[in-house]
Amino acid sequence: MENTAKIYVAGHRGLIGSAIERRLRVHGFNNLIYADHAALELTDDAQVNRFFDEHRPEYVVLAAGRVGGIVENQSFPADFIHINLAIQLNLLRVAHRHGVRKLILFASSCMYPRECPQPMAEDALLTGRPEPTSLAYAISKLAGMQMCLAYNQQYGVQRFIPVIPNSAFGPNDNFDPYSGHVLSSLIRRFHEAKSSGAVEVVLWGSGAPRREFVHADDIAEACIRLLTRDTTTLPLPVNIGTGTDYSIQQLAVLIARVIGFEGQIVWDHSKPDGAPCKLLDSSRMRTFGWNPSVDFEQGVKQTYQWYLDHVLQTEKSA
């Protein structure tokens, strides 16, 4: 991929999309195009077609979609499946029509069976039922992944690359305690508890489930490698993970320590845990030459500092 290549990053203001934009610029790719939600509704086929007719991107990174934690998934399953399916259908169809050279689509580790051998290899997909609390989202992402593979198969060119990152975190994450994912939500919960002088923080579930966390910059670097290298023989889809997981209890203790919260952590066992384990086998991506570089605890500290500098400052000035 030449440095002058025109690259469309869909979802450039989100956690992963913003990281991809940052890292592309670090690598010297500056011919980037994007549009926020007000300018382009990705669920609208006509708008997507007009956008591609006007801008004609050569490469596409599809990081846009409806995402959220357990509460959001349980509250809005119809939105999760409809919005993600519509975006994927529109973007893949128009990318094919315009002859896009490569497209990266973000799938999800939620697609794996709830009860799955650990670490989860790509071949385990569709061998069992995904976690029920995020089933609608998982089905939409399975469909997106399969659409990529179907286009590649039917037209004989491996241009659409579905990737499966594990739980992402970093700058531009969603820190809402109800709609965000676990790490960013806990940062806000513990910060507010410390600020208010609370003696305890009550968290959902048992704290026993284990999760693997990947900094958004590491995910972006993996995607840039996929965009810039020959992927014609790479088995698809591709997991992106660090190879290390943590229990939610360990995560909570780490975040409490980073923030300086000294109260008690209480677990509400009446609430759901979600999938018990979600550790990915990322050997395909490592064989392709990628390895994560962001230390987990340092990444959490940097993410907390970003929360202080951006989210809190914005809220205070509003």
| Catalytic sites, residue numbers | 137
Q: What one-letter code names the amino acid at 53?
A: D
CA distance 206 to 313: 33
CA distance 65 to 84: 5
Contact 236, 144 (CB under 8 A): no
The 3-state DSSP class for residue 237 equals coil
Q: How many residues does the chain have?
A: 318
Percent composition of the chain: helix, strand, coil (DSSP 3-state, to 5): 45, 15, 40
Q: Which residues contact 34 (CB under 8 A, 6 or more apart)?
A: 8, 9, 10, 12, 17, 21
Take residue 244 and report the two structure tokens written for it: 């290390």
Take residue 288 and report the two structure tokens written for it: 């392709």
For 66: left if phi > 0, alpha if psi spans -120 to 50, otherwise beta; the answer is beta
Q: Of 142, 137, 162, 138, which is closest to residue 152 (Cα–Cα)?
A: 162
Take residue 279 and report the two structure tokens written for it: 């550790």
Torsion sign, CA atoms 229, 234, 240, 241: negative
CA distance 127 to 157: 26
CA distance 205 to 255: 17
Torsion sign, CA atoms 25, 85, 108, 187: positive
Contact 198, 211 (CB under 8 A): no
